[in-house]
Amino acid sequence: MIVKTTAVDAKIYRKSATVTRTGSVNLNSGRNTIYIAGMTKTANQDTFTIKMSEKIRTVNVQIVNIDSIPDEPLESEKIAGEISKLNYQVELCNTITELRKTNANFTYRSNISIDEQETYLEGLSDKLVSLNQKAQDLSKQKEKLAEELKKASFEEEKPLIMLEVECDESGEYPLILTYQELSCNWYPKYEVRFEDEKSPLEVCMKACISQTSGENWQKIQAILYTGNPTVSQEVPLLKSTYLSLIDDSLEKARGKAMPQESSMMVAGTASAMAAASPMNAFMGMAMMNPMTTAQAQVQEEETMTAFVLPDTKDILTNTDGNIATLQKFNVDASYEILCIPSVTDKSFMTAVIKSEDWPFSSAEASVYLKGTLIGKVYVDPDSDSETFTLSLGQDERLNVIREELPAKQQNVLLKNQKKKTPEYKIKITNKSSAALENVIIKDTIPVSSDKAINVELKEVSGAAVDEEKGILKWNLNIDSQSTVSLNVAYDLTWPKDKRYRESRH
Beta bridge mates, 418: 411, 494
Contact 422, 490 (CB under 8 A): yes
Sign of CA dihedral 409, 411, 414, 417: positive
Beta bridge mates, 208: 187, 323
If you average pLDDT over residues 379-384, what whole number do you get?
83
Contact 23, 36 (CB under 8 A): yes
* 476/412: higher pLDDT: 476
DSSP 399-464: EEEEEEEEEEEEEETTTTEEEEEEEEEEEEEE-SSS-EEEEEEEEE-EEESSTT-EEEEEE-TT-E
Residue 288, pLDDT > 50, answer no
pLDDT at position 505: 74
pLDDT at position 124: 83
Instruction: Give the whole-number percent of the chain exceeding pLDDT 90.
Output: 58
Beta bridge mates, 430: 398
> Which residue type does 353 have?
I
Beta bridge mates, 180: 18, 44
Residue 402, pLDDT > 90, answer yes
Question: What pLDDT band is residue 264 in, cutting at 50, 70 and 90?
Answer: very low
Residue-wise pLDDT for 347-380, tens only, equals 999 999 999 999 888 899 999 988 899 889 999 8
How many other C-beta atoms are found inside a 10 Å radius of the C-beta of residue 16? 19
If you average pLDDT over residues 193-211, what whole number do you get?
93
Full-model pTM = 0.68
pLDDT at position 235: 66
pLDDT at position 302: 66
Question: What pLDDT band is residue 290 in, cutting at 50, 70 and 90?
Answer: very low
Contact 27, 171 (CB under 8 A): yes
Contact 221, 312 (CB under 8 A): yes
Question: What pLDDT band is residue 249 in, cutting at 50, 70 and 90?
Answer: low
25-44 burial: b if 16+ Cβ within 10 Å, else e: bebeeeebebbbbbbbebbe
Contact 448, 455 (CB under 8 A): yes
Q: In what order do the strands lie in the sheet with 446-448?
A: 446-448, 241-246, 499-504
Residue 415, pLDDT > 80, answer no
Residue-wise pLDDT for 99-156, tens only, equals 888 877 777 676 777 777 777 777 788 888 899 999 999 999 999 999 999 998 988 8
DSSP 8-state secondary structure symbol assigned to residue 384:
S
Segment among 45-54, 234-243, 313-322, 470-479 with least mean pLDDT: 234-243
pLDDT at position 383: 74
pLDDT at position 229: 32
pLDDT at position 259: 35
* 252/92: higher pLDDT: 92
Residue-wise pLDDT for 301-311, tens only, equals 767 788 999 98
pLDDT at position 234: 56
> Which residue type does 32 have?
N
Contact 450, 244 (CB under 8 A): yes
Residue 209, pLDDT > 80, answer yes
58: burial class by Cβ within 10 Å (0-12, 13-18, 19+)? exposed
Residue-wise pLDDT for 419-439, tens only, equals 999 999 999 999 999 999 999
If you average pLDDT over residues 295-316, what whole number do you get?
86
pLDDT at position 238: 79
Residue 293, pLDDT > 70, answer no
How many other C-beta atoms are found inside a 10 Å radius of the C-beta of residue 6? 13
* Euclidean distance between CA atoms 53 and 42, whole angstroms: 28
Q: Can you list the alpha helix ranges (DSSP code H) found in 157-220?
A: none
pLDDT at position 254: 46
* Euclidean distance between CA atoms 85 and 73, whole angstroms: 18
